[in-house]
Amino acid sequence: MLEASPEKHTYWVHSREPYDLPQVTLNVARSQITSYCLATNCILDVFDETDLMSGLEAWIVAPEARSAIPSPLYYLVLAIGEQTRPNGDDQMAYRLFDCGRHTAQRFMEEASVWTVRAYSLISMYMLNACRRNAAFMYLGTAVRAAYALGLHRKEVNYQFSKDEQRERERLWKVIRILDLFMGASLGRPPSTSESRVTSGTEEDYSASNDLCYIFERILTDVYAKRTVSTTSLKAISTLHLEWASHSRRGMVTDLIDASEFMAGSDMPNISVVHLIEAYYWTIMLLTRPFLTEAIIAHANTARSARAQDACGVPTANGGSVTACVYAAVKTIDLLKRFLGVQSLPRRLPFVTNCLFVASLVLGFAHFGDLDQKFPLSSHLEIAHRLLLQSTDDLLAQHNAHTIGYLRDVCSEYIAARVSGRMYLHDQLVASTFGRISLASQCEYIDQSTYRASPITQSHGTLAGLGNHEDIDPTTPSAHVSLASALDTPADSTAQIDVLSDLSPEWSTMPRTLCFDALFGDSPFFSTALYDI
């Protein structure tokens, strides 16, 4: 796992010279707060922008004076803002962070909402700095403080005033988002568990909380047990259906604008992107074991079909395979709006992660010859360009190199497949019309080394998935069409290759798929996606 090295020294503690507090002007601080709110919208709902701005001028004049928002929290917010500003200075960001982190130690004396806020902000800064292990450890402190305060219990929060209820619910949502993100991306068990009813029947239904519950179910019911059954698959997909049908109302509760762009600008709406990319990520996480199984079966079929017509048995989970690749394609469709945007935040770790996960699915799907049914190569290229665009993000650059290598391998695979087909065409034409061999003529791949790739025609078009036009992911009907496609029985009974006809159906027989890591020392959960 890529991990940035910490600073050689900490200014606040180890400097032998008198330490001056970082100085920022009012205009720069306002720009930093704006950037902070833009980059963390929907994932770090710790403060309202109006609250931060209202007390900013007084805080800059007297940072050590008492204020509605304690000074350490201001330093941490400004540090994240400087990290993400298009023209930000990383050294200045670290000085602000260093000051905020060490002055926040006073919140460790007793658990409070300031403890949760401070260590959530520290975790976010560490994520941006590509120090994910450190972020994971600091988040542990925030999680324990949240449990000590009873933030995990809704009935406890109801004992406070309306404003305090709202703040406590917001903090719990922040903790859940960070915890489930780190659990899914680092391959570690979640530290939190939801005791609330997150269904759409609740009056204060939160789309973010409900999506976190889906993440939790996938990590605990699938990856922790290393098995996925059709029963659990249907149960979790039902949660997806409910989430899709209530997501609009839940976004209102979470104060997420459903518009594609920010009001009055051409900046993409990062808050709704964060939410919808997470939705697609849950689909990829849930169905990836079936994609892996199907592609392995496809490879075995290809080996055994060298000297005969290529045909195999239809996969019992074609709908799951379709959903996995479809979600990856739609993730890239969602994120490609960031291409060429000049004022985009320099670091967006949640976006970088989803780009990488989707790219790995797209690359892997090539080896099942799914590029004949989905625009895999073009979307893999878009993902590579998006990662390269984040020049200040160490993790994005590392992932871009990985995806670049994967893209080259996929291109070689496609070229070999085309060459093998040309060899078969050459044999067919030569048997009818003969062959004239020239010394300069290119020779196709030798038959003895050719692994036949099963080739069949598609048997029908998937309902709701027959084209690759953009679908508004926030529209409930769009999600219902996906779910309907997965439940539509296949009308073809012809014997076909395992992946050539992805019949969108769930298996009618109870079935459990057991899976393991590719190597004995590989961790579970989603890290198999990251270890290349």
pLDDT < 70: residue spans in the chain: 7-20, 200, 303-316, 439-511, 515-532
- The three-state (H, E, C) secondary structure of 8-29, written as one string: CCCHHHHCCCCCCCCCCCHHHH
| Token pair of 3 as six digits | 């991990």
Instruction: Identify the burial level of 309 via C-beta atoms within 10 angstroms of its C-beta, where 0-12 means exposed, 13-18 middle and 19 or more buried.
Output: exposed
pLDDT of residue 439: 59
Would you state the pLDDT for residue 242? 94
**Confidence (pLDDT) at 101:** 94
pTM: 0.81
Q: Per-residue pLDDT tens for 468-512?
A: 334 343 333 333 333 333 333 333 333 334 354 444 444 445 667
pLDDT of res. 19: 58
Instruction: Name which of 227, 198, 377, 354 is nearest 290 in CA terms.
Output: 227
Where along the chain do its domains lie?
A: 1-187, 272-432+442-529
For CA atoms 103, 106, 108, 110, give the dihedral sign: negative
Nearest one of 213, 222, 337 to 290, comparing CA atoms: 222
Output the CA–CA distances (angstroms, integers) from residue 326 to 293, 334, 469, 491, in the order listed.
17, 12, 12, 21
Amino acid at 423: Y
Tens digits of residue pLDDT in 250-284: 999 999 988 888 887 889 999 999 999 999 999 99
What number of H helices and E strands is found in the chain?
18, 2
pLDDT at 509: 52
Residue 436: predicted pLDDT: 82
- Report pLDDT for 196: 79
